[in-house]
Chain A
Amino acid sequence: MRLRPPDPVLLPLVVALGMVPLGLAFVTVARNRLVTGRPMPLWHAAQGPEAILSLAGLALLLLAALKRGPWLAILSGVLVMGGLGWIAGDVAQLQAISQPAARVSLGGGFWLMQALAALCLVEAARQTGRAGKALATLLVAAATASLMMSGTLDDLSLLREYANRRDVLGPALLRHIEIVTLAVAPTVLIGVPLGVACYRREAIGRLVLPTLGVVQTIPSIALFGLMLAPLAALATWQPALARIGISGVGMAPAVLALLLYSLLPIASNTQAGLASVPDSVRDAARGIGMTRGQIFWQVEAQLAFPALLAGLRITIVQATGLAAVAALIGAGGLGAIMFDGLFTGALDLALLGAIPVIGLAVTADLLLRLVTPRATDRAPS
């Protein structure tokens, strides 16, 4: 039997994972919400069954790296991630008994260890293919859900902020989705015909696409700022506009700026999708007697659809992030919670806003990837 060398990717990751606690604080414990906490290393925090669970997970992960067992790596990686979460939650519970105002925040060590364990999962899932990816996602979701539902994490500072803002977070999430929807829906209605026009008439394409490129280049905070003064002036000039919500701050400039940003990916992907339809296919369609309208709707539009969906995915992911910046001009949404935390120096509040923004972007990306047929599935051979 030939001995296989250890996994060249997983092994260094596992070794790094094991060394993190030596250098970085696992959690920080503060007397109250606003003072800086003092660091607590992992070996002070870890006790009870969860410590054994995490240690076992780490040992199994090491074994998986040495023996090249990606499936074992997925299982043990989730064990480590869940175990570390459980440890952090338990520390917070213990502190809460002795000092109710104390805040236990997740430290750099916790986040780095979670990140390294997640990297192990990503690599192992990559090696096992689709089934491994699905299993890893499912296990992480199950571990997170069970830790949250059981209330183990409830005393962590992040969850306390959540409890304090529970009634604000839901509406903020909805508002965020509302901003993105209000911007992206009209963009599709404008951008797709624009893309078709750019494809049909090269002169239009040469004019429109670079102009939209300039808009994309301007950073979001600057574009929001540039919208502010004209819209405010418009509202003072025509008070009727102000009554329907048009003003320098709030939803109107945010949606308008997002709409301008979103036009480029939609229009250019529509144009590129149509341009990628081979001329031979068009000739064949004409040959079997299709009219121009039929060729467009039944041939070109069908073949360009995956490219359009890819443009839509880029647009929605981009708009989700930009909508967070829009909170600066008073548009509300998750960004408002995030900046509230940043301005007041409350880290966990900033996280409470930022994590759902990332969650929304990643979820939108995944969902649209799932419904997008691969270009090669439909492209003629």
Chain B
Amino acid sequence: MTSLLRPCVWLVLLLAASFGMTSLRPLFAALFPTLERPVYLQEGFAALLLAHLELVAVSGVLAGIIGIAIGVAVTRPWGAAYRGLAETLSAAGQTFPPVAVLAIAVPSMGFGPQPAVLALLLYGLLPVVQNTIAGLTQVPPAVLDAATGLGFSPFRRLWRVELPLAAPLILTGLRVSVIITIGTAALASTVGVTTLGSPILLGLSAENTAYVLQGAVLIGLLALAVDAMFDAALTLFFAGAGRPAGGTS
């Protein structure tokens, strides 16, 4: 069960840091003696974490559902005409830096959380679509023929055969998507959304290094905890198939 240990450690650290940051005041006061306010108190860190998670969860869940649906649709006979376009777009779109996408999308749709979710969702779709297509097309034709020969309906074949076989790659795509979203959501603070990026931005503009450090530690721990959870899920269910090469924002 060592595979579960790593996510648990990161998770405990994350929760301890978000609930206990304020009680570390003496430490930050000692580290940054010149600062009048060594701990960010505008919002509680747990509330910031929750707001951040909400943003990531909404866009992540939607990106997962829509991305997998697109990937499934373009690999069916009736949607095959769109597969080339979906592949080209999901590959080319990922060359666009996420921060630039946020900078273009959010102001043009109005400032605030909803446009940010939309921008995060659109960008988060790309790795999910790409990996769902890759996962579904690598299912060997012989397996599909066998399922059809057993009398599986197309839907049952998809649900019981294709999706389970494609699951490791789909989960890997979701992992890349969610990790990018966690980082980009932090940047959404620049367009007025309250996230874990807020202490960093306030700290940078008010030259309060302690605020920057507090926000940075929490964002880092959040990304590592979520990544470790995906890693554990992949190891537990699929014996560690498909580690991503990277993906940051």
| A residues in contact (CB < 8 Å) with B | 7-9, 108, 111, 119, 122-123, 126, 213-214, 216-226, 228-229, 232, 248-249, 261, 264-265, 268-269, 314, 317-318, 320-322, 324-325, 328-329, 335, 338-339, 341-343, 345, 347, 350-351, 353-355, 357-358, 361-362, 365
Contact residues in B for A355 (Cβ distance below 8 Å): 100, 104
* Bound Cα distance from A224 to B209, whole angstroms: 11
Asked if A232 and B209 make an inter-chain contact with CB atoms under 8 angstroms apart, the answer reads yes
Q: Does B108 contact A (CB under 8 A)?
A: yes
Asked if A126 and B224 make an inter-chain contact with CB atoms under 8 angstroms apart, the answer reads no
* Bound Cα distance from A89 to B106, whole angstroms: 23
Which chain B residue lies CB-closest to A320? B97
Shortest Cβ distance from B102 into chain A, in angstroms?
9
* Bound Cα distance from A111 to B108, whole angstroms: 9
Which of B18-26, B84-92, B159-167 lies at the interface with chain A? B84-92
The 8 closest A-B pairs by CB, nearest first: A321-B97, A219-B183, A225-B216, A222-B219, A347-B107, A354-B103, A354-B100, A8-B81
Which chain A residue lies CB-closest to B218? A222
Interface 0/1 of B115-132, CB less than 8 Å to A: 000000000000000000
Contact residues in B for A265 (Cβ distance below 8 Å): 245-246
Q: Does B223 contact A (CB under 8 A)?
A: yes
Asked if B183 and A347 make an inter-chain contact with CB atoms under 8 angstroms apart, the answer reads no
Asked if B103 and A221 make an inter-chain contact with CB atoms under 8 angstroms apart, the answer reads no
Contact residues in A for B224 (Cβ distance below 8 Å): 214, 217-218
A219-B95 contact, Cβ under 8 Å, with A9-B81, A9-B82, A318-B248: no
Cβ < 8 Å to A, chain B residues 117-167? none
Q: Does B8 contact A (CB under 8 A)?
A: no
A261-B248 contact, Cβ under 8 Å, with A126-B84, A225-B216: yes
Q: Does B197 contact A (CB under 8 A)?
A: yes
Asked if A222 and B216 make an inter-chain contact with CB atoms under 8 angstroms apart, the answer reads yes
Which of B41-49, B61-69, B186-194, B232-240 lies at the interface with chain A? B186-194
Contact residues in A for B108 (Cβ distance below 8 Å): 108, 111, 347
Asked if A321 and B213 make an inter-chain contact with CB atoms under 8 angstroms apart, the answer reads no
Asked if B212 and A126 make an inter-chain contact with CB atoms under 8 angstroms apart, the answer reads no
Shortest Cβ distance from B233 into chain A, in angstroms?
15
Cβ < 8 Å to A, chain B residues 197-230? 197, 200-201, 203-204, 209, 212-213, 215-217, 219-220, 223-224, 227
* Bound Cα distance from A226 to B96, whole angstroms: 25
Asked if B81 and A358 make an inter-chain contact with CB atoms under 8 angstroms apart, the answer reads no
Shortest Cβ distance from B207 into chain A, in angstroms?
9
Shortest Cβ distance from B63 into chain A, in angstroms?
17
* Bound Cα distance from A321 to B182, whole angstroms: 16
Q: Does B9 contact A (CB under 8 A)?
A: no
Contact residues in A for B92 (Cβ distance below 8 Å): 122, 362
Q: Can you spell out 13 A-B residue pairs with CB atoms less than 8 angstroms apart?
A: A9-B82, A111-B108, A219-B183, A221-B216, A222-B215, A222-B219, A321-B99, A322-B97, A342-B106, A357-B99, A358-B100, A361-B97, A362-B96
Shortest Cβ distance from A198 into chain B, in angstroms?
14
Partner of B249, one of A220, A225, A345, A354: A220
* Bound Cα distance from A362 to B187, whole angstroms: 22
Partner of B190, one of A119, A224, A318, A343: A343
* Bound Cα distance from A309 to B81, whole angstroms: 32
Partner of A219, one of B31, B186, B212: B186
Which chain A residue lies CB-closest to B180? A219
Which chain A residue lies CB-closest to B224? A217
Asked if B107 and A225 make an inter-chain contact with CB atoms under 8 angstroms apart, the answer reads no
Shortest Cβ distance from A108 into chain B, in angstroms?
6
Interface of A is mostly: helix
* Bound Cα distance from A299 to B169, whole angstroms: 32
Contact residues in A for B88 (Cβ distance below 8 Å): 122, 126
* Bound Cα distance from A218 to B219, whole angstroms: 8
A321-B103 contact, Cβ under 8 Å, with A217-B179, A225-B200, A361-B97: no
Asked if B213 and A216 make an inter-chain contact with CB atoms under 8 angstroms apart, the answer reads no
Which chain A residue lies CB-closest to B243? A213
Asked if B219 and A229 make an inter-chain contact with CB atoms under 8 angstroms apart, the answer reads no
* Bound Cα distance from A357 to B97, whole angstroms: 8
Asked if A226 and B107 make an inter-chain contact with CB atoms under 8 angstroms apart, the answer reads no
* Bound Cα distance from A325 to B45, whole angstroms: 23
Shortest Cβ distance from B183 into chain A, in angstroms?
3
Shortest Cβ distance from B55 into chain A, in angstroms?
13
Shortest Cβ distance from A133 into chain B, in angstroms?
10
Asked if B97 and A221 make an inter-chain contact with CB atoms under 8 angstroms apart, the answer reads no
Asked if A345 and B104 make an inter-chain contact with CB atoms under 8 angstroms apart, the answer reads no
Which chain A residue lies CB-closest to B95? A365
Shortest Cβ distance from A281 into chain B, in angstroms?
24
Contact residues in B for A223 (Cβ distance below 8 Å): 216, 220
Q: Known contacts A111-B108, A220-B248; can you find 18 more A-B pairs with CB under 8 A?
A: A119-B89, A217-B248, A218-B223, A218-B224, A219-B219, A223-B216, A223-B220, A228-B209, A232-B209, A269-B245, A328-B190, A328-B200, A341-B103, A341-B107, A343-B190, A350-B104, A358-B100, A362-B95
* Bound Cα distance from A224 to B187, whole angstroms: 12
Partner of B99, one of A7, A8, A249, A325: A325
Interface 0/1 of B9-30, CB less than 8 Å to A: 0000000000000000000000
Asked if A317 and B82 make an inter-chain contact with CB atoms under 8 angstroms apart, the answer reads no
A338-B246 contact, Cβ under 8 Å, with A217-B227, A225-B216: no
Asked if A361 and B223 make an inter-chain contact with CB atoms under 8 angstroms apart, the answer reads no
* Bound Cα distance from A293 to B80, whole angstroms: 49
